[in-house]
Amino acid sequence: MSNLGDLLQSADWKTEKHVPVIEGPEEVKKGEVFKVEVSVGKQIPHPNTTEHHIRFIEVYFLAAGERFPYQLARFELGAHGESVQGPNTSTIFSEPGVSVAFKTEKSGTIMAIAYCNIHGLWKAQKEVQVK
């Protein structure tokens, strides 16, 4: 049996369309709100069809010196072209790009997980320094 952590895949987002891309500042002021954007398929677009899509994106923050990360947000992406007429018959599609704002008094690591309904879980992380 596999551990969940063993199932999290990672790669360079410039060559792999499933990897979450975390965009935000590398340095922030202590206690000041800042915004982080997470997207999937930035360099190579990810398909967004009823059969193949990004189902959710989760964003976490692991503060320096702490044992567990805080879940900042979970975004369910629910529209992938399906309708009552069948698969890929709608003109409504959720795009896998989200943003979250938060503040911290500690440096740490922003982590993102994206789930592709065919290719599983993908992860990325970005360090943030608090000044």
Active-site annotation, residues: 16-18, 46, 52, 116, 119
- Among the listed residues 105, 99, 100, the one whose alpha carbon sits nearest the alpha carbon of residue 28: 105
Distance CA 107, CA 60 (A): 13
* DSSP per position, 25-62: -SEE-TT--EEEEEEE-SSSPPP-SSSS-EEEEEEEEE
Structure tokens at 119: 């290719």
At 12, the amino acid letter reads D
What strand order describes the sheet that includes 20-23? Answer: 20-23, 34-40, 97-102
